[in-house]
Homo-oligomer: A and B are copies of this chain.
């Protein structure tokens, strides 16, 4: 709901209140002159007016009071498949593994043979052997399968 409409409703309430007040006073005056008023004491009028306008006040207040909002925060667990890989560069530095070596490591993890890796990287088979050997040294492993396993543990590979 918009602000202007809210303000109009407030204004209307006040207007109704004013009209009601006038009407009631008029009614009372009319009653006074016409009927039983002369016999009634002032206290009864006062009490009547008090009760009426208390009700009016209550009505006004309820009409005008802003709804108090209590924000209840409900935690909803959302399962997020944690499949985004972030390379652990710290480990990479500590181990002293170069870019090229990491590249070879990744291809090893994909199941490629040294020959295939050599072809893919446009270098000789011997070069790949050297790279993989260095990687194994740095990872302190003996086999490529071990290297892959350890590299994944160390977040060097997805």
- Is A99 interfacial (CB 8 A cutoff)? no
Chain B, Cβ-Cβ closest to A76: B75
Residues in chain B near residue A24, CB distance under 8 A: 50
Number of interface residues of A (CB under 8 A): 59
Chain B residues within an 8 Å CB radius of A60: 54, 57-58, 61
What is the interface of chain A mostly: helix, strand, loop, or mixed? helix
Contacts of A25 in B (CB 8 A): 43, 46-47, 50
In the assembled complex, the Cα of A43 lies from the Cα of B45 at a distance in Å of 11
Answer yes or no: A113 CB below 8 A from chain B CBs. yes
Sorted nearest first, the 7 A-B pairs with minimum C-beta distance are: A57-B57, A111-B146, A61-B61, A54-B57, A67-B68, A58-B61, A69-B70
